[in-house]
């Protein structure tokens, strides 16, 4: 059976998981006040960087005694800055259930070569057994939301308030769409190009007072590149957390981030952003519930992401194909939709199981997610007709 081509398309067809869709109504006019051609160290540039930090604090509800810094190399740079600067003082548990968590495992085991490192891994769609984690006595490294698996931690209840170690949390596809438990987090990282649709290359590093104390009392055994150095003569470099960036930021990107943050405030702040992402996830849930050939990659609804929503094809005819055939089938779905310009960048991540990944963060309109769903069904029936 083939289906007719859907009559309507999403108004905005961008569903990439990074860089993500720009906020509704965005045009280049939003960047007209950018401090172009000016030094980021001049009063104007530094003021804008300070505004970006304080608006981030305001929208996310970051505690007043936590430092927020703008650092190089996107979320990856922020995570690795934390790992290289803080780990090694005590044993560490590293959690991974998707691609980026696995990268942090590689950093800890193969690059830093820490002797007292315990690795906890789960396959795509699952999450590690949190009860096995020693969050009381050891440092913890984990992703809050698995961007490439669509699996997130349900909450921070598993982290003791009286912990002795530090929690280092990669929150790049969770921030601005999920409620982070700041009291349980000592290092939080994210980027501008995820949930708010900002432009790439800039990372955010948030440090608790406990993380600062570690930085000022512990010196790693390995050398640190300049872009990783957060202390000087045993003291935190406070300027990093006041807009004095380690390297030169793009003031055009800063202006874009400021625009996104101001939109977030006008949308209802964090509560409004979460509500928008939840509504987008709900639109896909309604489709999945009535569509037998598709399901969520995340096996437990309690760990299902509301941003990087990952889907798998569960039709028996597709399951009977060899792995390369299943991958080709999933690719055919996204390619057919893209060819019709009805939805862009919805294929699964290259290291993830074959399927679809639809960004549902707050900058995406629910009406566009709803308009995309008939196209998924159309592309499936178009592709399944080729295998019988």
pLDDT in tens, 284-300: 999 999 999 999 999 99
Q: What is the CATH number of domain 31-265?
A: 3.40.640.10
pLDDT tens per residue across span 10-20? 999 999 999 99
Q: How far apart are CA 18 and CA 195, in angstroms?
A: 9
Is 346 in contact with 358 (CB distance < 8 Å)? yes
Tokens 């509504």 locate to 279
Q: How far apart are CA 120 and CA 122, in angstroms?
A: 7
Class of domain 269-384: alpha beta
Helix (H/G/I), strand (E/B), else coil: 255 = helix
Is 293 in contact with 313 (CB distance < 8 Å)? yes
pLDDT tens per residue across span 315-353? 999 999 999 999 999 999 999 999 999 999 999 999 999
Quick one: pLDDT at residue 387?
87
Tokens 């959690």 locate to 95
Q: Of all helices (H) and strands (E), which one includes residue 119? A: strand 117-121
Helix (H/G/I), strand (E/B), else coil: 3 = coil
What is the end-to-end Cα distance of the chain in Å, rounded? Answer: 10
* Delimiting residues of CATH 3.90.1150.10 domain(s) in the chain: 269-384
Judge residue 350's burial from the number of C-beta atoms within 10 Å of its C-beta, 0-12 exposed, 13-18 middle, 19 or more buried.
exposed
Quick one: pLDDT at residue 388?
65
Q: How far apart are CA 51 and CA 165, in angstroms?
A: 31
| pLDDT at residue 354 tops 80 | yes
Q: How far apart are CA 347 and CA 327, in angstroms?
A: 10
Judge residue 341's burial from the number of C-beta atoms within 10 Å of its C-beta, 0-12 exposed, 13-18 middle, 19 or more buried.
exposed
Q: 174: Cβ–Cβ under 8 A, 6 or more apart, which residues?
A: 144, 145, 152, 180, 190, 195, 307
Nearest to 148 by CA among 338, 277, 298, 6: 298
- pTM here is 0.97
Helix (H/G/I), strand (E/B), else coil: 321 = coil
- Looking only at the bridges linking them, the beta strands covering 235-236 and 231-232 are antiparallel
* DSSP code at position 14: B
Tokens 């987008």 locate to 280
* Delimiting residues of CATH 3.40.640.10 domain(s) in the chain: 31-265
| pLDDT at residue 200 tops 90 | no
Quick one: pLDDT at residue 175?
98
Quick one: pLDDT at residue 78?
98
pLDDT tens per residue across span 87-137? 999 999 999 999 999 999 999 999 999 999 999 999 999 999 999 999 999
| pLDDT at residue 361 tops 90 | yes
- Looking only at the bridges linking them, the beta strands covering 151-152 and 117-121 are unpaired
Q: How far apart are CA 50 and CA 70, in angstroms?
A: 10
Q: In 297-306, which positions are buried (b, 16+ CB within 10 angstroms) versus exposed (e)?
A: bbeeeebbbb
| pLDDT at residue 79 tops 90 | yes
């Amino acid at each position: 059976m083939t289906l007719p081509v859907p009559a309507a398309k999403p108004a905005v067809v961008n569903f990439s998981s990074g860089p993500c869709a720009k906020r509704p109504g965005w045009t280049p006019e939003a960047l007209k006040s950018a401090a172009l051609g000016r030094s980021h160290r001049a009063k104007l540039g530094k003021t804008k960087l300070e505004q970006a930090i304080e608006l981030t604090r305001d929208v996310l509800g970051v505690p007043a005694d936590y430092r927020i810094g703008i650092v190089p190399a996107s979320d990856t740079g922020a995570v690795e800055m934390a790992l290289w600067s803080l780990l090694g003082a005590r044993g560490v548990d590293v959690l991974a259930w998707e691609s980026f968590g696995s990268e942090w495992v590689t950093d800890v085991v193969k690059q830093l070569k820490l002797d007292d490192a315990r690795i906890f891994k789960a396959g795509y769609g699952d999450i590690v057994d949190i009860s096995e984690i020693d969050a009381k006595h050891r440092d913890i490294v984990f992703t809050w939301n698995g961007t490439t698996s669509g699996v997130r931690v349900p909450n921070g209840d598993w982290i003791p308030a009286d912990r002795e170690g530090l929690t280092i949390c990669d929150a790049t596809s969770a921030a601005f769409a999920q409620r982070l438990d700041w009291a349980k987090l000592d290092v939080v990282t994210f980027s501008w190009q995820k949930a708010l649709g900002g432009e790439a290359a800039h990372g955010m590093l948030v440090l608790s007072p406990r993380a600062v104390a570690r930085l000022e009392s512990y010196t790693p055994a390995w050398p640190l590149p300049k872009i990783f150095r957060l202390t000087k003569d045993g003291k935190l470099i406070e300027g990093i957390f006041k807009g004095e960036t380690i390297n030169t930021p793009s003031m055009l990107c800063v202006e874009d981030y400021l625009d996104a943050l101001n939109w977030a405030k006008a949308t209802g702040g964090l509560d409004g952003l979460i509500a928008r992402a939840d509504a987008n996830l709900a639109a896909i849930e309604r489709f999945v519930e009535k569509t037998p050939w598709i399901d969520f990659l995340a096996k437990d609804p309690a760990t299902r992401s509301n941003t990087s929503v990952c889907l798998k094809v569960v039709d028996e005819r597709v399951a009977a194909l060899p792995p390369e055939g299943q991958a080709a089938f999933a690719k055919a779905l996204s390619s057919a939709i893209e060819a019709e310009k009805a939805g862009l960048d919805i294929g699964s991540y290259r290291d993830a199981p074959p399927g679809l990944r639809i960004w549902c963060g707050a900058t995406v309109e629910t009406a566009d997610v709803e308009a995309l769903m008939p196209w998924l069904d159309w592309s499936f029936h178009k592709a399944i007709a080729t295998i019988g």
